Structures are given as structure tokens and as C-alpha cells.
């Protein structure tokens, strides 16, 4: 079932509580009363269609946003993507790191093995950070510069960014190794941790890892299905413009 | 082990969902790719998925006069046609097996199970996931940070052989990255944390 504007916001959460962090990212607070999705968006001054597309891609991994694509600005999208980055770096990753750290402190006799796990996680974290940085430093500024150029509101730096001959095609899927590491981490805990530790202590860590993975998948999905097409379209428009000149 | 890889081709949503439900009732592992468009590039899909079973609504494969019988890994490809009373006999004859969609659930399940069994992809016992002695040795070298070439030199085998072992290790353990394999090796006492630290220092 897809989420639409007339559903009550409260029912949306009952339907899928994994949407809570997504709603947070839009700045929406709990206590919706009987307000519908549309009303909540109005109250917060949000673009309803955009909100629905994001919610639905998250809610249903097979959902394919297509019809409304052109309506969204790159800026709107990138604001959202940056907020998800923030969520990983400021909430999710520290949360997991904390939990592993607590475990190390509590379970002295397994400390060495746990430390190995921690090192692996830190390793993963660093890779994720550098991946995020490369998006924020190269991909997003490029998309925003394109958009400003096309709307005639060029910033000083934009010409420089656009002159670098970057293209969204270069934005290959280098998510790969980051994804594999997260996958490995889960599997090591699930299948291979020699555990005199009460394994329920791992539940919350695993739960967090699954959530993070799910959120990252969705993040990548939105980039591939919405951001990339929008940028490709702008690249085409810009090429046509410069052909005319 | 030969993994069952299915390519499902039908423009009918209900039909696709129905086939998927049947397959899930068989409770056997398989990998599947779906295709709903009649204008798809069949050969590209074959290269990508390397299916060993293609389940299709017969009209979907009409544009393709030749149905490839071998996939990229040189395995046999079997074709299952989703037929009804109106399917022309001439079309039916292109398929190795027919699944008449009007049949009841039990019959459909029996048919599907027996045709998949005769392809040889259902009957095999699940492969053991224990690493062989050789694989354990190689895993140890990988965990200690050796490259394929270095391992090949030390063990007097070809780099290609090392790579094959690596693939098998990754498949058996479900761990893809080198650092993940290292963690596995430590947890299973194949290597000691101290050995790693020596390497780290050497690298500095």
C-alpha cells in the first residue's frame, strides 16, 4: 500500500514505524493528532509531493518514483540527502560505536575479540565518511551549480565547478565496498562470534546495523532514481543551451 | 553447487506474482530476475543473470527466433512456457516444459517441482560450508595482508588458483571484504592479533 496525502500521519507511523527517522529529517515532530499527511506538510511548509515520494521510496523498496520527478529541484533533494548524511554521522554511527564500546567495557574476558570488531567498525566508519565527503564535495555542489546556471542565478564559484568537466556519469557506484563491509560485519556477528557473551547483548547492535543498512540502501536508491535523472536532464539542457550560443 | 537462477518473463503482473508464489511454496533457494516489458533485450538479460531456467509467457519470446540453450557458464538453459488453452502448438514446441496456468494449485506445484528437479538444480544436497585445509591456509595469508601474487609465490600455485580459492572462501563464509576475512581469522584463532600489529608497524 502506498502512502498518499489523505492518510492520517499517525496511521502512516502505525503502518511503518521505520519511517520515523525519515520524518525527523523533514523536521516533523510527533503529536500529529488526526492531521493528514497533507495537513502536516502544510503546517511545516513542506512540499507535499516531494515528501510523499521520499516516504514511498523508503516504505516500499520496489516503488519507482517517476511521474513527479521533474517537479523537484535539485536543491530540495540535496537538502534531504545531506540531512540523511548528518543522521548517519551524528546519530547512527556514534550510537553503534557506543554500544560496541559499552560491550567492551562490560565484558572484559572477551575484550580482545570485541576490540577487533570495533576496529573493523571504525574502519567501516572511515570509509563511509570518505564516501559521504566525496558526495558532498563533488556531486552535490556540481548539481547545485548546474541548477543555478540554468535558472540564471549563477554564484561566483559555479563557473569554476562547471568548468571541471565533471559529469554525473562519473558518479559511479563506489558504494560497493562500503556496502560489503557492513554486510560482513553483520555476518561476523550473526555467524562467527565465539560467544560466551549473552548473545542478546548483540541484538541491539545488530538491530542498529540492519536499520543503518536499510537507510543507506534507501539513500542510494533516492540518489540513483531521483537525483541522477534530474542532473542528467539539466546536463542535457545546458548542452542544448550552449549549442545555440 | 549449481544455484537455481530463474528468469521470469511476463507482461502480466498477476501471472508473475502467481509464479513467484508457487516458487516460494517449493521452499528451495533460488535467485530470480523479473522482466515485464515485451521490448526487453533478452540476450543482455541472459548474460547478466546467467539463468538456468527461463519461465516465460510464450508470446514474450516470439521476437526471438532462436532460444539460446547454453548460458555464459556453459550450463544448460531450460525453458518453461506458461501456457493456456489458446497457446498455439507450434509455440509450445519451443519449450522444454509446459506449465498450464489453468491447473489447480497442487498440480501446478507438482509440475513445477518435477520439472525443476529434472533440470538437476533442485536435488543437490546443500554444499558443506567448512573450509578445506588449503582454503584455511590461504585465508590465513589473506588475513595477514598478502596479495594474490604473494600467496601464489609462497604456495607455488598460480594466481588464478588463488583467486578461485578466494571466491570459494568468500562464498562459504559469506564474508566479502579482506578486513572482514581478517576479523574472521582472528575470531577463529587462525591468526593472532599480535601478528597483525607487527604487520601494521612494518607498514608504517
Which residue carries 546536463 as its cell?
A235
Of all residues in chain A, the one with the smallest CA distance to B196 is A116
- What gap in Å lies between CA A99 and CA A156, rounded to an integer? 45
Alpha-carbon gap, residue A199 to A41, rounded angstroms: 42
Contact between residue A182 and residue A206 where contact means Cβ atoms under 8 Å apart:
no
Average pLDDT score, chain A = 86
| A177 contacts in chain B (CB < 8 Å) | 177
Q: At what angle do helices A176-187 and A200-222 cross, to 10 degrees?
A: 160
Contacts of A180 in chain B (CB under 8 A): 176-177, 180
Domain B133-203 sits in CATH at 1.10.10.10
Which among B7, B8, B16, B116 has a CA at the least distance from the CA of B71? B7
Whether residues B188 and A113 touch (CB distance < 8 A) is answered with no
| Residue A180 touches partner B, C-beta closer than 8 Å | yes
Supply φ then ψ for residue A217, to 5 degrees: -60, -45
* pLDDT confidence tier of residue B55, bands split at 50, 70 and 90: very high
Beta carbons within 8 Å of B76's beta carbon, 6+ residues apart = B52, B69, B70, B119
Report whether B7 contacts B77 (CB < 8 A). Answer: no
Q: What is the DSSP letter of B66?
A: S
More confident residue, B60 or A165: B60
Cα radius of gyration rounded to whole Å, chain A: 21
Of the partner residues A183, A184, A192, the one whose CB lies closest to the CB of residue B187: A192
C-alpha–C-alpha distance, residues A121 and A189, integer Å: 12
Express each pLDDT in B63-80 by its tens digit: 888 888 887 666 788 999
Topology classification of domain B5-119: Rossmann fold (3.40.50)
Per-residue pLDDT at A127 exceeds 60: yes
Q: Where in chain B is the domain with CATH 1.10.10.10?
A: 133-203
Flag if A180 and B184 touch (Cβ within 8 Å): no
- Least Cα distance to A142 among A224, A237, A234 occurs for A234
Rounded (5°) CA angle A90-A91-A92: 120
What ipTM goes with this model?
0.77
Do residues B55 and B78 make contact, with C-beta atoms less than 8 angstroms apart? no
Selected residue with higher pLDDT from A195 and B155:
B155
Listed in order, the ranges of chain B carrying CATH 3.40.50.2300 are 5-119
pTM: 0.70
**pLDDT confidence bin for A10, thresholds 50/70/90:** very high
Amino acid at each position: 500500500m502506498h502512502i498518499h496525502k489523505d492518510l492520517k500521519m499517525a496511521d502512516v507511523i502505525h503502518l511503518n514505524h521505520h519511517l520515523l527517522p525519515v520524518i525527523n529529517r523533514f523536521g516533523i515532530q510527533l503529536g500529529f493528532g488526526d492531521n493528514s499527511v497533507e495537513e502536516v506538510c502544510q503546517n511545516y511548509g513542506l512540499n507535499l509531493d516531494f515528501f510523499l515520494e521520499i516516504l514511498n521510496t523508503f516504505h516500499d523498496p520496489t516503488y519507482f518514483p517517476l511521474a513527479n520527478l521533474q517537479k523537484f529541484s535539485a536543491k530540495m533533494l540535496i537538502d534531504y540527502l545531506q540531512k540523511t548524511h548528518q543522521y548517519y554521522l551524528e546519530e547512527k554511527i556514534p550510537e553503534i560505536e557506543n554500544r560496541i564500546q559499552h560491550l567492551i567495557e562490560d565484558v572484559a574476558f572477551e575484550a580482545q575479540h570485541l576490540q577487533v570488531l570495533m576496529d573493523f567498525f571504525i574502519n567501516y566508519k572511515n570509509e563511509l565518511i570518505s564516501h559521504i565527503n566525496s558526495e558532498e564535495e563533488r556531486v552535490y555542489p556540481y548539481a547545485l551549480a548546474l541548477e543555478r546556471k540554468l535558472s540564471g542565478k549563477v554564484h561566483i564559484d559555479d563557473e569554476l565547478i562547471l568548468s571541471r568537466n565533471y559529469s554525473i556519469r562519473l558518479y559511479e557506484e563506489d558504494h560497493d565496498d562500503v556496502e560489503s563491509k557492513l554486510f560482513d560485519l553483520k555476518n561476523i556477528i550473526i555467524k562467527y562470534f565465539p560467544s560466551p557473551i549473552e548473545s542478546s547483548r548483540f541484538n541491539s547492535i545488530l538491530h542498529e546495523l540492519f536499520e543503518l543498512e536499510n537507510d543507506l540502501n534507501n539513500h542510494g536508491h533516492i540518489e540513483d532514481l531521483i537525483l541522477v535523472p534530474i542532473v542528467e536532464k539539466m546536463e542535457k539542457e545546458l548542452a542544448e543551451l550552449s549549442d545555440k550560443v | 553447487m549449481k544455484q537455481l537462477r530463474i528468469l521470469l518473463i511476463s507482461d502480466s503482473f498477476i501471472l508473475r506474482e502467481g509464479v513467484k508464489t508457487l516458487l516460494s511454496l517449493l521452499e528451495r533457494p533460488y535467485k530470480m530476475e523479473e522482466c515485464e516489458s515485451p521490448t526487453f533485450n533478452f540476450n543482455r538479460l541472459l548474460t547478466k543473470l546467467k539463468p538456468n531456467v527461463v519461465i516465460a509467457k510464450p508470446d514474450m519470446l516470439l521476437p526471438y527466433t532462436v532460444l539460446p540453450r547454453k548460458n555464459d557458464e556453459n550450463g544448460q538453459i531450460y525453458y518453461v512456457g506458461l501456457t493456456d488453452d489458446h497457446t498455439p502448438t507450434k509455440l509450445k514446441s519451443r519449450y522444454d516444459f509446459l506449465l498450464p496456468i489453468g491447473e489447480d494449485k497442487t498440480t501446478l506445484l507438482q509440475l513445477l517441482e518435477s520439472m525443476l528437479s529434472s533440470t538437476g538444480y533442485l536435488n543437490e544436497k546443500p554444499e558443506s560450508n567448512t573450509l578445506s585445509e588449503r582454503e584455511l591456509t590461504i585465508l590465513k595469508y589473506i588475513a595477514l595482508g598478502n596479495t594474490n601474487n604473494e600467496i601464489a609465490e609462497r604456495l607455488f600455485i598460480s594466481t588464478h588458483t588463488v583467486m578461485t580459492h578466494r571466491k570459494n572462501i568468500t562464498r562459504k563464509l559469506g564474508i566479502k571484504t579482506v578486513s572482514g576475512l581478517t576479523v574472521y581469522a582472528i575470531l577463529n584463532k587462525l591468526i593472532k592479533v599480535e601478528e597483525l600489529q607487527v604487520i601494521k608497524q612494518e607498514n608504517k
